Amino acid sequence: MSSQKLTQRLLVQKYGGTSVGSIERIRAVAQRVKRAREDGYDVVVVASAMAGETNRLLGLGAELSKRPDERELDALVATGEQVSVALLAIALNEVGVPARSFLGHQVRLRTDSAFTKARIKGIDAEVLLSTLREGRVAVVAGFQGIDDQGNVTTLGRGGSDTSAVAIAAALAQYGGKSVPCEIYTDVDGVYTADPNVCPSARKVHRISYEEMLELASLGAKVLQIRSVELAMKYAVPVHVRTSFGDAEGTWVVNEDESLESVVVAGVTSDKNEAKITLRRAPDGPSTNAALFRALADAKISVDMIVQNAGEGGMLDLTFTVSKGDLERAAEVVRAKFPGAEVGVQKDVVKVSIVGLGMRSHAGVAATMFEILGREGITVDAVSTSEIKVSCLIPSKYHELAVRALHDGFGLGA
Amino acid sequence: MSSQKLTQRLLVQKYGGTSVGSIERIRAVAQRVKRAREDGYDVVVVASAMAGETNRLLGLGAELSKRPDERELDALVATGEQVSVALLAIALNEVGVPARSFLGHQVRLRTDSAFTKARIKGIDAEVLLSTLREGRVAVVAGFQGIDDQGNVTTLGRGGSDTSAVAIAAALAQYGGKSVPCEIYTDVDGVYTADPNVCPSARKVHRISYEEMLELASLGAKVLQIRSVELAMKYAVPVHVRTSFGDAEGTWVVNEDESLESVVVAGVTSDKNEAKITLRRAPDGPSTNAALFRALADAKISVDMIVQNAGEGGMLDLTFTVSKGDLERAAEVVRAKFPGAEVGVQKDVVKVSIVGLGMRSHAGVAATMFEILGREGITVDAVSTSEIKVSCLIPSKYHELAVRALHDGFGLGA
């Protein structure tokens, strides 16, 4: 390792497909990277494929085979990021910022061999650090790595977020202090609710990893969920922001660094759930397990599960699956319990409140039910976790419920 | 190294950009590779980028910079071959032929660091051999390698031919016997003359490396010249043929294997030459050298040089440059010899006869002049090498000269 020290602060910036979607946009990214350098940062840039490119490449593969070999698919789609980083390095050199592109094998971003959905095992920060020491920007292809045999692998959709966080974590381990990771995307941050549903929604300035995980899995879809898990594990401060302006976005940080000690951080909803209700099924010690094993064998994911003590040794059960799986799921249930009542319902929506503050504040669920009740909204099912309460309600109340909860918990203030 | 032996014969097949220019064409290539396997060959395939792709990528780079960084250009254009080999491997797997794609870094095709025109230093045949031993076809990205620092390099236009020959040479060193290299292109072989000019031209079945080198540099443009040099050095038998049919093409082989011991193997011509004549320039010991140094400094390549003993200590000189350089070359000459007569002429063409037999047959040049003279064709300049005689003649005689020489040397028989 070189004895030369980095004199400046380290920063990782990740640009998504829209941000590098055209030659014009790539030039704008080069200007933004240049400004970060002028602000005193040593910058590692992670780039996704140009918008549309990954789908174009997958389309070529699909023309040749209904089930293309996954190793070859990974080699194919990895070219998308390779094109982006080479172009971005050219653009940076053109505006006087010395830059060098790096592919998965060049930064030894090692993964397992699960093609199309590989998981990162490690990364060699030294090649990046020596590039920074030479006064260069390192531009790293996101989404791709290599396995132990040198095969090209990819990390799954949105994997560039994970690449960026992993690089920030690796750089931090070298320097002994945390390295921030800016994620540039086409939204300008995380909101307290969907602004399309709730006009009083406002941008959250700081949010904890845990809250972000619950929001992401509930459909906020700003960051790939694995990137948030990784950021939490290595305490990487993540700044989600837009590349179409200079506004601050949302910082995703450790709980103790999250400024706002609010009870509820946000309201989210999921319209893709459907409900199955089973009544008067004969119950036994393993009935429940047998049912959900049969659903799992049919590759059907189950989300909410609500089980009541039924009358006289009978099982009463409600659960939700994604709308696309509803018919198949109902068949599985009917085959399992020929004599029971099986009801299905598609016009439902799950609304959830998420917040670390729930852990120390009693009565949050009660407040949620009161707010919904005041609006005349019936609740079909409830499930709770440590930092989340979800209610399944009729779809027609979707917007009303989100707005009422948002205002009721004081998020619009 | 595995103790398992390859039971079959080895074959390298290289497919150019037109041959993999569409999904349909890639499917046809997969069928051809399948047939070679059925014929008992273990096959390594080398593929170029899909036709047009390299230019598309260079166009993106050119939009960002007038002089894009060459390291980044190589990373950019290398994606073209990566897409081809992944798609071809998918197509092969789809038709039941197990296949695996390989990039430059995966077969450790090592080069120097001369980006955009790197030269091959070595290649690791072991990874290819172990792939073949597993019963798989190895599909290798042409045109690309890595240097000692792991940077992606490319071999220059047509470099996939060189990749293919280098792989055949490396495989041969392992097995101790030569491995043939089939080059699939959009022409079906090497002809005794351009069929568009000379209707009686016929396909040559076998030609020596030396003759091929002279033909290629004279404009036959069937194979990248470096691939022929490499094939000669390692005695790789090269079979140039079309991917649009099953006809045998032309074998490029060692002199002692070339079946036909003809005096002249082919007639070729180059319309891109222009002539500069200098008369009555003051001569001295280094006049000549000074002139050609000045032209070299202006990056002007000179082809033929004919120097006569001028009258009374004066220099009489004729030389040719490419048509595009004519004006600049004339300026250089006029600046060097302000008092001399400088004539320029664009309507000239160089016709050449090429053949190993010339070395042992006296009077070949004389026969050439007789044939041309019989047709009333004036010769402006002559240059000769061991296996080639070139005459500069007025353009209007182009077709007539090629046909007369072709028939005069008995090539149409």
Per-residue pLDDT reduced to its tens digit, A105-122: 999 999 999 999 999 999
Chain B interface, best mutation among A54, A72, A152, by max B CB count within 10 A: A72
What mean pLDDT value characterizes chain A? 90
Residue A385 backbone class (left: φ over 0; alpha: ψ -120 to 50; beta: rest): beta
What pLDDT is stored for residue B218 in this prediction? Answer: 59
CA trace torsion B369, B374, B375, B377 (10° rounding): 40
d(CA A291, CA A295): 6
Amino acid type, B71: R
Contact across the interface for A64 and B152, Cβ inside 8 Å: no
pLDDT at A269 over 50: yes
Under DSSP, is residue A92 helix (H, G, I), strand (E, B) or coil?
helix
Is residue B250 packed enough to be buried (19+ CB in 10 Å), middle (13-18) or exposed (0-12)? buried
pLDDT at B169 over 80: yes
Q: Computed from CA positions of residues B68, B71, B75, B77, in that sequence, does the dihedral angle turn out positive or negative?
A: positive
Dihedral pair phi/psi, residue B12, rounded to 5°: -110, 130
Please give the structure tokens belonging to residue B62.
Answer: 């050119």
Contact residues on chain B for A91, CB-CB shorter than 8 A: 64-65
The interface residues of chain B toward chain A in range 93-122, judged by CB-CB distance below 8 A, are 93-94, 99-101, 103, 105-106
What pLDDT is stored for residue B413 in this prediction? Answer: 67
What pLDDT is stored for residue A2 in this prediction? Answer: 41
The interface residues of chain B toward chain A in range 28-67, judged by CB-CB distance below 8 A, are 57, 60-61, 63-65
What pLDDT is stored for residue A381 in this prediction? Answer: 87
Whether B130 and chain A come into contact, CB under 8 Å, resolves to no
Helix and strand totals (H; E) in chain B: 11, 20
Element (H, E) at A25: helix A23-38
Count other Cβ atoms within 10 Å, centred on residue A314: 14
Confidence class of residue B2 from pLDDT cuts 50, 70 and 90?
very low
What pLDDT is stored for residue A3 in this prediction? Answer: 39
pLDDT at B53 over 90: yes
pLDDT at A318 over 80: yes
Contact across the interface for B85 and A75, Cβ inside 8 Å: yes
pLDDT: is A300 or A99 the higher one?
Answer: A99
Contact residues on chain A for B91, CB-CB shorter than 8 A: 64-65
Contact residues on chain B for A106, CB-CB shorter than 8 A: 150-151
Among A140-154, B60-74, B247-261, the least confident range: B247-261
Q: Are B203 and B246 within 8 A, CB to CB?
A: no
d(CA A371, CA A116): 44
What pLDDT is stored for residue B260 in this prediction? Answer: 53
What pLDDT is stored for residue B27 in this prediction? Answer: 98
Q: How far is B34 from chain A (nearest CA, A)?
A: 16
List residues bridging with A322 in a β-sheet: A273
List residues bridging with B351 in a β-sheet: B269, B391
- What are the Cα distances from residue A25, in Å, to A91, A186, A246, B307? 10, 12, 15, 58
Count other Cβ atoms within 10 Å, centred on residue A57: 21
What percentage of chain B carries pLDDT values higher than 90? 65
The residue extents of the domains of chain A are 9-186
Q: Are A137 and A33 within 8 A, CB to CB?
A: yes
Contact across the interface for A71 and B152, Cβ inside 8 Å: no
Whether A170 and chain B come into contact, CB under 8 Å, resolves to no
List residues bridging with B274 in a β-sheet: B321
Mean pLDDT of A371-396: 90
Contact residues on chain A for B94, CB-CB shorter than 8 A: 64-65, 68
Contact residues on chain B for A100, CB-CB shorter than 8 A: 71-72
pLDDT at A4 over 60: no
Return the closest-CA partner of residue B16 out of B70, B53, B42. B53
Chain B interface, best mutation among A23, A50, A56, A83, by max B CB count within 10 A: A83
What pLDDT is stored for residue B17 in this prediction? Answer: 94
B64 closest CB neighbour out of A94, A100, A101? A94
Please give the structure tokens belonging to residue A402.
Answer: 């989100």
pLDDT at B3 over 50: no
Among A208-212, B96-100, B127-131, B135-139, the least confident range: A208-212
Give the strand order in the sheet containing B99-102: B99-102, B137-141, B41-47, B9-15, B181-185, B238-242, B250-253, B206-208
CA trace torsion B94, B96, B97, B103 (10° rounding): 30
Confidence class of residue B326 from pLDDT cuts 50, 70 and 90?
very high
Under DSSP, is residue A249 helix (H, G, I), strand (E, B) or coil?
coil
Under DSSP, is residue B177 helix (H, G, I), strand (E, B) or coil?
coil
Q: For A320, which DSSP code? A: E
Contact across the interface for B151 and A106, Cβ inside 8 Å: yes
Contact across the interface for A94 and B60, Cβ inside 8 Å: no
Whether A71 and chain B come into contact, CB under 8 Å, resolves to yes
> Any alpha helices (H) in A176-257, and if so which ranges?
209-215, 225-234
Contact across the interface for B90 and A61, Cβ inside 8 Å: yes
* Residue whose tokens read 């028989």: B413
What are the pLDDT digits (tens) for B150-167? 999 999 878 999 999 999
Confidence class of residue B339 from pLDDT cuts 50, 70 and 90?
confident
Rg (CA), chain A: 24
Q: How far is B10 from chain A (nearest CA, A)?
A: 23
What pLDDT is stored for residue B216 in this prediction? Answer: 67
Among A57-61, A405-409, B143-147, B255-259, the least confident range: B255-259
pLDDT at A363 over 90: no
pLDDT at B10 over 90: yes
Mean pLDDT of B188-195: 89
Between the ranges A208-212, B32-36, B352-356, B363-367, where is the mean pLDDT highest?
A: B32-36
Give the strand order in the sheet containing A341-345: A302-309, A314-322, A273-282, A341-345
Whether A73 and chain B come into contact, CB under 8 Å, resolves to yes
Amino acid type, A122: G
What percentage of chain A carries pLDDT values higher than 70? 94
What are the pLDDT digits (tens) for A161-195? 999 999 999 999 887 789 999 999 888 888 999 88
d(CA A180, CA A167): 10
d(CA B91, CA A63): 9
Among A114-118, A243-247, B37-41, the least confident range: A243-247
What are the pLDDT digits (tens) for A60-70? 999 999 999 99
Contacts of B307 (CB under 8 A, 6+ apart): B288, B315, B316, B317, B318
pLDDT at A72 over 50: yes
What percentage of chain B carries pLDDT values higher than 70? 94
A86 closest CB neighbour out of B72, B82, B150? B72
Please give the structure tokens belonging to residue A411.
Answer: 């998020």
Count other Cβ atoms within 10 Å, centred on residue A34: 18
Contact across the interface for B152 and A103, Cβ inside 8 Å: yes
DSSP letters for A149-181: T--EEE--TTHHHHHHHHHHHHHHHHHSS---E
Q: How far is B144 from chain A (nearest CA, A)?
A: 14
d(CA A157, CA B246): 43
What mean pLDDT value characterizes chain B? 90
Confidence class of residue B91 from pLDDT cuts 50, 70 and 90?
very high
What pLDDT is stored for residue A7 in this prediction? Answer: 54
What pLDDT is stored for residue A303 in this prediction? Answer: 87
What pLDDT is stored for residue A332 in this prediction? Answer: 94
Contact across the interface for B90 and A82, Cβ inside 8 Å: no
pLDDT at B316 over 90: no
Query: Under CATH, what is the fold of the domain A9-186?
Result: Carbamate kinase (3.40.1160)
Please give the structure tokens belonging to residue A137.
Answer: 């920007």
CB pairs under 8 A between A and B: 114
What residue in A sits closest to B50 (Cα-Cα)?
A60
Contact across the interface for B79 and A76, Cβ inside 8 Å: no
Confidence class of residue B57 from pLDDT cuts 50, 70 and 90?
very high
Mean pLDDT of B224-238: 92
- What are the Cα distances from residue B7, in Å, to A5, B43, B75, B132, B169? 56, 12, 37, 10, 19
Among B30-39, B215-224, B226-235, the least confident range: B215-224
pLDDT at B71 over 80: yes
Mean pLDDT of A376-390: 87
What pLDDT is stored for residue A118 in this prediction? Answer: 94
- What are the Cα distances from residue B301, in Å, to A87, B200, B295, B349? 33, 33, 7, 17
Model ipTM value: 0.79
Q: Are A155 and A143 within 8 A, CB to CB?
A: yes
Contact residues on chain A for B147, CB-CB shorter than 8 A: none
